[in-house]
Structure 1
């Protein structure tokens, strides 16, 4: 059963990567693929959905990040593309498409696009 879950998760991640590469992120909504990708990539430390509490108390939730003053999809995507900015615990790389898709998803949780 464990390997079955792994294959499902990997399939969801691949589907998400293909979908985002094909559709871009001009208009973005939360999808099962977005949530699966965020959970697999970041969910060990961050709460990736709202409401949520981050598993690592030192890690802000995605909603908290999206609500930070000055955070936009563009600034967030730039941060995510530039892996040397990551704290040591975030030692992984995202493709530019993955960074863009993740930033777009995060902003649906209450970022600048939802501010009055």
Structure 2
């Protein structure tokens, strides 16, 4: 019976060692989560009055698109989103505020976490 337990444990260790080569380490995953949570906190404080800034939900202002809709817009990249957020003249009149460079980076990092390969717009 002990041999069977040892073989099962060894098999589990072997399977664990065969992780995908591109998989993120727990440290990388936690770092990404920390950056995303800072961006989410900023989004909740500065943007959630009008936009739904989380993965699910409707925007409080029906004219303000939900962030998953924005994040999953075809052709959106880190560069295009950063450019749009740094160019205040791009904002609709209702979005009368200025973002510092580090705030833009936090928001972009967070918004990109909302991208999904299997995303389907809610409407």
Answer with 27-36 or 58-67: which moved more: 27-36
The alignment covers a number of residue pairs equal to 87
TM-score after normalising by structure 1: 0.68
CA deviations over 1:29-68 (Å, ceiling 9, x no partner): 3643322110111001100001111000111111000010
**Which residue pairs with 1:95 in the alignment?**
100
Any residues of structure 2 matched to 1:1-116 within 5 Å, and which? Answer: 28-29=32-33, 31-110=36-115, 114-115=116-117
Structure 1 residue 86: Cα displacement: 0.2
Which entry has the higher C-alpha Rg, 1 or 2? 2
Aligned-CA RMSD value: 1.8
- Following superposition, the deviation at residue 28 of structure 1 comes to 3.6
CA distance in structure 1 between the partners assigned to 2:78 and 2:104 by the alignment: 10
Equivalent-residue separation in structure 2 for 1:108 and 1:35 (angstroms): 10
Unpaired runs of 5+ in structure 1? 1-26
TM-score (structure 2 length as normaliser) = 0.64
Moved over 4 A (4+): none
User: Which ranges in structure 2 are unaligned for 5 or more consecutive residues?
Assistant: 1-30, 119-123
